[in-house]
Amino acid sequence: MNREVAKKVTEVLKALGHPTRLRIAELLQNGEMCVSELVAALGVKEPIASQQLNKMKDKNILNSRRRGCMVFYYLNDKRMIEKLLDCMVNHRKSNS
């Protein structure tokens, strides 16, 4: 792994180092979602979800698009996030 890839992976891992952000990444693997859908799926209040979404967007993990008054979020590098999450889940299963 070269230095740039290692740096990017490290930043992503740091950004996913919060349970809500990790769950958001997992949910968005299936495609984009609006804030209200994420709030319902996460079982958190909208300000909490918005705060975590903004942190992920600041770290370039997510991007968003607007349709009317709704904001939809999606993963910037879906393949990398899927690989990281798969690695974490498979590691956990092998240690159980």
The pLDDT tens digits for 38-94 are: 999 999 999 999 999 999 999 999 999 999 999 999 999 888 888 887 877 776 566
**pLDDT of the residue at 56:** 94
Helix H or strand E encompassing 75? strand 70-75
In the chain, where the domains are located: 3-94
Sign of CA dihedral 56, 59, 60, 65: positive
Q: How far apart are CA 26 and CA 94, in angstroms?
A: 20
**CA geometry: angle at 71 spanning 70 and 75, to 5°?**
150
CATH code linked to domain 3-94: 1.10.10.10
Contacts of 21 (CB under 8 A, 6+ apart): 15, 52, 55, 56
Banded pLDDT at 18 (limits 50, 70, 90): very high
Q: How far apart are CA 55 and CA 7, in angstroms?
A: 18
